[in-house]
Amino acid sequence: GQNIDQPTEMTATEGAIVQINCTYQTSGFNGLFWYQQHAGEAPTFLSYNVLDGLEEKGRFSSFLSRSKGYSYLLLKELQMKDSASYLCAVRFPNSGNTPLVFGKGTRLSVIA
């Protein structure tokens, strides 16, 4: 089966660092994605991990451990505009047209 877990809500202060965790249980794995979604808008792509380790892209970094079924998204120097939902998504067995399966999302509130 497929199960993706992430915290429902988080709050952090402007300028700080926040880490959003995601765990998954799958019968197959072919990559983990993080998307940002502002209220009423479609998700926008943030990062993609398929190998273990850390991928850094500006203020955002994403980490993956396949053996632990674990990923996190790290946001540095938080800005008010970072207030959004962050969706962890997994692509399952290595098949060309396999869609992404999403977790329920973590709603991040950045406060002054």
Q: Which stretch binds another protein (CB under 8 A): 11-19, 54-62, 76-84, 101-109?
A: 101-109
Q: Binders of another protein among 9-48, rule CB under 8 A?
A: 31, 33, 35, 40-45, 48
Cβ–Cβ under 8 Å, residues 94 and 28:
yes
Of 42 and 112, CB closest to another protein: 42
What whole-number distance in Å separates Cα of residue 105 and Cα of residue 88?
7
Binds another protein by CB under 8 A, chosen from 38, 59, 68, 104: 104
CB of 31 to another protein, least distance (A): 6
Of 9 and 77, CB closest to another protein: 9
Structure tokens given for 54: 């850390």
What whole-number distance in Å separates Cα of residue 51 and Cα of residue 14?
31
Residue 3 pairs in a beta bridge with 25
What whole-number distance in Å separates Cα of residue 20 and Cα of residue 46?
13
List contacts with another protein (CB under 8 A): 31, 33, 35, 40-45, 48, 50, 87, 91, 96-97, 99-105, 107
